[in-house]
């Protein structure tokens, strides 16, 4: 279990530039990116794909802090902070001299306005400081503030969002494309590239074709493709497991979900369909994050699964026709999800469950849920939002995490199957390190070879 160390940070940070094999980074050029997800709005407060938000939002909008995979907080718009012993009152020192794109200075008041409206806490300005207070303990507040939805944004003269990030918004076509330009006044220094062009809604196949044709410099890689890509001599940038694949069911299906969980041969699916690019999941959170994996075994147990369907009739047989057939839906455009759903349906027969895979409106749903954060408490809140179960904020103790996972599985009808990493592939023109252990993209540190 990793907990964020809360302490006063030094107010000065600096960036060490890697040598990239002895070749010095150069300024100029445009970095071309393709993504499967899409965004209908660039406003961080608006709903949107969690992975797309986590990768795109930081390019234009900064948060108060950044939190790494080890749970350590790093300065962003806040250079230092302190918290009381109860973790209910936090105080942040803002980075001096920061300006929004429209030359408006960053102040405590603008930060408070951006963070207002949250039910979990109240933010207020105290002179040059920002104070965030809560009625409950919030040991994971840094991880929450690091999420894209808590980016510091102000409204411009046209009502659109204005940020302090490394790239300005040049043009945006909802769901299709985004063009960014380097922010020469960025507090972190000007990015190497002059701009970034992002195409949304590209299938993984389309992305790979464009990479081979030299039309894209950075793209996503599905977990099932990692082994194939690397066998071809390409180096994929792979995060820690940051996505939960689960079957989610509605109310009144507890016995069916228990039987299904006991029937799914996760390890065989992991080996054949996912080609090792995942972890079999018995619990909601991956082992690296929560350390509770040993409490959620993933072994199949067909006899126990059949017994779960007997509905209180010990010793009775369970004829296949006695159990109402179920439908399992998945994203019609997600080839991997379809394959996984079909294998789950096949395994379900072994315990007497008849499951038919459909494109929408199923009794059960195969969901791919981004965890959003490396903090276990915050990640559980993200899963809770996805399945409609309220998870208490500020969870940090191992016992609390375990009980929250159990509740998501019982009340939310969540049957964890796999934890997948987020992976990306860099083309020949791109240089730098475009992803971190949590799957984020630091494109402001990338540069391109040639024009």
**Mean pLDDT value of segment 103-112:** 96
- So what's the pLDDT on residue 18? 43
High-pLDDT (> 70) share of the chain, %: 91
- So what's the pLDDT on residue 9? 38
**Mean pLDDT value of segment 124-136:** 93
**Mean pLDDT value of segment 106-118:** 93
**Mean pLDDT value of segment 281-304:** 93
- So what's the pLDDT on residue 187? 95
Q: Angle formed by the axes of helices 335-348 and 254-263, to 10°?
A: 100
Contact 170, 181 (CB under 8 A): yes
Contact 136, 393 (CB under 8 A): yes
Element (H, E) at 256: helix 254-263
Question: Range with the lowest mean pLDDT among 11-25, 148-162, 175-189, 300-314?
Answer: 11-25
Mean pLDDT, the chain, integer: 87
Q: Is the pLDDT of residue 441 over 80?
A: yes
**Mean pLDDT value of segment 123-127:** 93
- So what's the pLDDT on residue 32? 95
Tell me the C-alpha distance between 12 and 10, whole Å. Answer: 6
- So what's the pLDDT on residue 159? 75
Instruction: Between 48 and 349, name the one with better pLDDT.
Output: 349
163 — pLDDT class (breaks 50, 70, 90): very high
**Mean pLDDT value of segment 367-380:** 94
pLDDT tens-digit map of 217-237: 999 888 888 888 888 878 788
Radius of gyration of the chain (CA): 23
291 CB-contact burial (10 Å; exposed 0-12 / middle 13-18 / buried 19+): middle
- So what's the pLDDT on residue 276? 67
Dihedral sign from CA coordinates of 261, 262, 263, 265 = positive
**Mean pLDDT value of segment 84-108:** 96
252 CB-contact burial (10 Å; exposed 0-12 / middle 13-18 / buried 19+): exposed
Cβ neighbours around 23 below 10 Å, total: 10
Contact 281, 288 (CB under 8 A): no
Q: Give the highest mean pLDDT range of 43-57, 217-231, 303-317, 378-392.
A: 378-392
pLDDT tens-digit map of 46-77: 888 888 999 999 999 999 999 999 989 999 99
Residue count of the chain = 451
- So what's the pLDDT on residue 13? 36
pLDDT tens-digit map of 168-222: 999 999 999 999 999 999 999 999 999 999 999 988 888 888 888 889 999 988 8
Contact 247, 347 (CB under 8 A): no
Tell me the C-alpha distance between 313 and 148, whole Å. Answer: 50
Apex CA 320: angle with CA 319 and CA 324, to 5°? 115
Q: Is the pLDDT of residue 420 over 70?
A: yes
8 CB-contact burial (10 Å; exposed 0-12 / middle 13-18 / buried 19+): exposed
- So what's the pLDDT on residue 247? 96
Write b or e for each residue in 77-111: b if 16 or more Cβ atoms lie within 10 A of its Cβ, otherwise e: bbbbbebeeebbebbbbbbeebebbeeeebebebb
241 — pLDDT class (breaks 50, 70, 90): very high
Task: Name residue 245's beta-bridge partners.
Answer: 368, 418
- So what's the pLDDT on residue 451? 58
- Whole-model pTM over 0.75: yes
Q: Is the pLDDT of residue 26 over 80?
A: yes
- So what's the pLDDT on residue 389? 93
Q: Is the pLDDT of residue 5 over 60?
A: no
Q: Six-digit token pair at 105? A: 């200075």
- So what's the pLDDT on residue 433? 66
- So what's the pLDDT on residue 406? 95
Domains of the chain, with CATH numbers? 30-205+427-448 (3.40.190.10), 239-422 (3.10.105.10)
């Amino acid at each position: 279990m990793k907990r964020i160390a809360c302490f006063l940070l030094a107010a000065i940070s600096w960036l060490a530039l890697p040598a990239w094999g002895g070749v010095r980074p150069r300024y100029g050029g445009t970095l071309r990116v393709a993504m499967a997800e899409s965004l209908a709005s660039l406003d961080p407060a608006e709903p949107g794909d969690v992975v797309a938000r986590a990768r795109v939002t930081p390019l234009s909008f900064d948060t108060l802090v950044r939190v790494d995979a080890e749970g350590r907080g790093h300065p962003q718009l806040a250079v230092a902070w302190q918290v009381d012993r109860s973790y209910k009152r936090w105080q942040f020192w803002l980075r001096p001299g920061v300006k929004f794109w429209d030359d408006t200075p960053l102040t405590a008041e603008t930060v408070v306005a951006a963070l207002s409206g949250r039910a979990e806490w109240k933010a207020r300005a105290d002179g040059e400081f920002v104070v965030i207070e809560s009625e409950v303990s919030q040991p994971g507040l840094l991880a929450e503030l690091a999420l894209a939805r808590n980016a510091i944004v102000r409204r411009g003269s046209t009502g659109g969002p204005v940020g302090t990030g490394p790239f300005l918004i040049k043009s945006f076509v909802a769901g299709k494309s985004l063009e960014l330009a380097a922010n020469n006044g960025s507090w972190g220094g000007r990015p190497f590239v002059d701009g970034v062009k992002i195409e949304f809604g590209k299938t993984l196949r389309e992305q790979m074709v464009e990479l081979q044709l030299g039309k894209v410099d950075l793209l996503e890689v599905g977990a099932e493709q990692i082994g194939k890509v690397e066998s071809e001599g390409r180096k994929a940038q792979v995060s820690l497991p940051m996505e939960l694949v689960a079957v989610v069911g509605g109310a009144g299906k507890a016995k069916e979900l228990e039987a299904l969980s006991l029937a799914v041969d996760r390890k065989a699916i992991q080996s054949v369909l996912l080609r090792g690019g995942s972890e079999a999941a018995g619990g909601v959170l991956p082992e690296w994050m929560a350390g509770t994996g040993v409490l959620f075994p993933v072994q199949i147990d067909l006899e126990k699964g059949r017994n779960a369907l007997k509905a209180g009739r010990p010793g009775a047989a369970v004829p296949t026709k006695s159990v109402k057939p179920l439908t399992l839906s998945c994203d019609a455009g997600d080839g991997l999800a379809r394959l996984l759903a079909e294998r789950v349906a096949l395994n379900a027969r072994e315990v007497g469950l008849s499951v038919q895979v459909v494109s929408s409106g199923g009794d059960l749903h195969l969901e791919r849920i981004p965890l959003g954060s490396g903090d276990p408490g915050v990640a559980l809140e993200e899963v809770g939002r996805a399945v409609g179960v309220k998870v208490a904020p500020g969870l940090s103790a191992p016992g609390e995490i375990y009980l929250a996972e159990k509740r998501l599985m019982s009340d939310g009808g969540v049957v964890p199957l796999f934890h997948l990493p987020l992976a990306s592939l860099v083309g020949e023109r791109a240089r730098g390190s475009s992803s971190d252990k949590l799957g984020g993209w630091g494109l402001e540190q990338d540069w391109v070879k040639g024009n």
